[in-house]
Chains A and B, each alone.
Chain A
Amino acid sequence: MALLELNNVSRHFELRPGVVERVLRGGKTRVIKAVEAINLSVAKDEILGIAGESGCGKSTTCSMVAGLLPPSSGEVLYRDRNVGEMTSSELNDHRRRVQMIFQDPYESLNPRFRVSDIVSEGPRALRLWGEREIEEQVAAMLAGVGLPAGKYWDRYPHELSGGERQRVGIASALVMKPELVVADEPLSMLDVSIRAGILDLLKELSRQRNFACIYVSHDLSILANIADRLLIMYLGQAVEVGSVHDVIKNPKHPYTRALISAVPVPDPRVKRSPPKIVGEISRPVDPPPGCRFASRCPHADQSCSEVFIKLDTNSPLAHQAACHRLEQINSEAT
Chain B
Amino acid sequence: MTDTNLLSVANLSVGYSTSQGVVNAVSDVSFDVRRNEVFGIAGESGCGKSTLIRALLRLLSNNGVSTATSITYEGEDVNSFSDDKFRDAILWKRISLVPQSAMNSLNPVYRVGDQVIEAIRAHRSVSRSEARERVEFLFDVVGLQPELMRSYPHEFSGGMRQRAMIAMSLALDPGLIIMDEPTTGLDVLVQEQILRRVREIRAEVSSSIILITHDIAVIAEMSDRISIMYGGKIVESATAIDLFESPFHPYTLGLKNAFPSISVMDNELISIPGTPPALIGEESGCLFEPRCPFSDATCAQILPQSHSVGEMHQVSCHRHTDVTELREKASKKSTWHC
Contacts and interface: CB of A to CB of B under 8 A. Distances in A.
A171 interface: no
Given A196-B269, A218-B188, A221-B260, 8 more contacts: A191-B45, A192-B258, A200-B271, A264-B191, A265-B220, A266-B259, A268-B244, A272-B221
A204 to B, nearest CB: 12
A193 B258 contact: yes
Interface in A224-243: 224-225
B187 A193 contact: no
B297 to A, nearest CB: 24
A228 B288 CA distance: 35
B203 interface: no
B187 A225 contact: no
A264 B221 contact: yes
Contacts of A268: 220-221, 223, 240-241, 243-244
B contact residues, range: 35 or more
Report the 7 A-B pairs with minimum CB-CB distance, sorted nearest first.
Answer: A197-B271, A196-B271, A264-B217, A196-B269, A53-B187, A262-B192, A268-B240
Interface string A274-314: 10010011000000000000000000000000000000000
B279 to A, nearest CB: 14
Nearest to B251: A193
Interface in B15-73: 44-45
Interface of B: 44-45, 157, 159-160, 187-192, 195, 214-218, 220-221, 223, 240-241, 243-244, 254-263, 265, 267, 269-273, 275-276
Interface of A: 53-54, 161, 163, 191-200, 218-222, 224-225, 244-245, 248-249, 258-260, 262-270, 272, 274, 277, 280-281
A248 B263 CA distance: 9
A263 B221 CA distance: 11
A200 B271 CA distance: 9
Nearest to B190: A280
A263 B264 CA distance: 13
A200 B221 contact: no
Given A262-B188, A266-B261, A200 B269 contact: yes
A248 B262 CA distance: 8
B145 to A, nearest CB: 12
A62 to B, nearest CB: 18
B271 A265 contact: no
A263 B258 contact: no
A193 B190 contact: no
26 contacts: A53-B187, A53-B188, A163-B275, A191-B214, A192-B216, A193-B258, A193-B272, A194-B272, A194-B275, A195-B260, A196-B260, A199-B269, A221-B217, A221-B259, A225-B265, A248-B262, A259-B189, A264-B191, A264-B217, A265-B262, A266-B259, A266-B261, A267-B220, A268-B223, A268-B240, A280-B160
A225 B256 CA distance: 15
Contacts of A198: 271
Nearest to B215: A264
A211 to B, nearest CB: 21
A53 B157 CA distance: 13
A151 to B, nearest CB: 14
B258 A280 contact: no
Contacts of A274: 192
B240 A258 contact: no
Contacts of A272: 221
B192 to A, nearest CB: 4
A263 B223 CA distance: 16
A225 B189 CA distance: 20
In the complex, which of the residues A53, A263, A266, A269 has the most CB atoms of chain B within 10 Å of its own CB atom? A266
A264 B214 CA distance: 13
Contacts of B267: 225
A192 B44 contact: yes
B240 to A, nearest CB: 4
B265 A245 contact: yes
B117 to A, nearest CB: 25
Contacts of B258: 192-193, 195-196
Contact of A262 (B191, B214, B257, B265): B191
B187 A281 contact: yes
A249 B264 CA distance: 10
A194 B271 contact: yes
B188 A259 contact: yes
B221 A265 contact: yes
Contacts of A199: 269
B255 A192 contact: yes
B218 A264 contact: yes
B38 to A, nearest CB: 11
Nearest to A262: B192
B45 A270 contact: no
Nearest to A199: B269
B256 A196 contact: no
A266 B244 contact: yes
